[in-house]
Chains A and B, each alone.
Chain A
Amino acid sequence: MNQPNTDTFEGQKKVRKAELISPPNRLKEKVGHGGIDEAVLGKAQELLENNTVDFKPIALMLVDLLHEAISDAKSSTTTGEDAIEAMLYPAMQLKAQGGMFHYPLISEISNILVNFLETVTDTNKDVMDIVVAHKMSINAVIASQIKGDGGKVGRELRDALLDACARYYKSRKAQ
């Protein structure tokens, strides 16, 4: 005998169909319990900090990518979001990798550039001037092999770039 369906009413229809699944925790099954020792974490951090990777060729390759993206944007080979994305990618990689390979100043400069590019919507002259200024600064850090935060020069460089971005936002607000 058919049982009456007590789960639904006549005419009732689900609007959103979403299923919640609890997959097996394969990682937990394999690694077990207990975490890891602070000493292991310390050793891992030491390995990160004492790496001997020569970042210069990687940085130059990324700066070349940025340079190409700038040229394409200036010549309108790429426009709008595509142009911005093309400049963002190498800037983001410079930010990501600089700090990992003893060039934190490159990370900081690139971070300013990434934050700036994330807020612009077109590639007008003012925007491009600021991007070029960042690229030149990164080039200068690589050429001078400024490892660490760059001291007074590093601070001045960062302040100048932040100031350029601030002036851009101020001028946009005034328009």
Chain B
Amino acid sequence: MSYQFKNITVLVVESTRAMFDLTRSVLQAFGVNQVYSAYGADEGFETYCRVNPDLVIIDWLEDPANGLDLTRRIRTDPKSPNPFMPIVMMTGYSQKKRVLQARDSGITEFIVKPFTAKALYQKIEQLVERPRHFVNSENYFGPDRRRKREGDYKGPDRRSDEQPAVKAATAAVSLTSAVAKAKEIKARHDKANPDKKDEW
């Protein structure tokens, strides 16, 4: 059994027809039947409202209304049919500053162009298997900008209470207290039941 991509519709908002065709061909190879196109932020929003897709892929797009503006509209415009829409930004920018800008506008995933089929698939798989919670605050509405799970971090433990020596010492202290507590209970038991001392 594999993903049934034939059941979803995707809107690709691109800057050129050639890039749209290329992205569509990859999505179709994955099995997506219906891929809608739009060029520019305004046409993108209009098409998005009309077709209400399951996934939107957006290029950075040219100012004055760029892909970030389109993302904000999808998240906050009252006309938006689904403010929780999964949005993948696919762009030639790769600098941290740009990634943060895109993240703060409300995108769900970020892919750097040129891209590979595997990179696009992995982002879609993330959306399917590890969807983000949404945060609704006074100045932000969009996917939770922190993606961190317990167990994700593979580096050394630096927090003092996680260091091996501290852990061992803490365990030893706990064990000492437990033994002392047990001895105390046993003494009480023996005193109350002098004929049943061997039961321990």
Contacts and interface: CB of A to CB of B under 8 A. Distances in A.
A28 B129 contact: yes
A34 B5 CA distance: 11
B29 A43 contact: yes
A115 B95 contact: yes
Contacts of A99: 113-114
6 contacts: A41-B118, A44-B30, A47-B25, A58-B16, A96-B59, A118-B97
Nearest to B117: A44
Contact-residue bracket for chain B: 35 or more
A100 B25 CA distance: 13
A143 interface: no
B134 A23 contact: yes
Contacts of A37: 2
Interface of B: 1-5, 7-8, 15-16, 18-19, 21-22, 25-26, 29-31, 54-55, 59-60, 62-63, 82, 84, 86, 91-93, 95, 97, 113-118, 121, 124-125, 127-129, 131, 133-138, 144
A22 B115 CA distance: 30
A19 B140 CA distance: 10
Contact of A31 (B8, B59, B95, B131): B8
Nearest to B3: A31
A30 B30 CA distance: 14
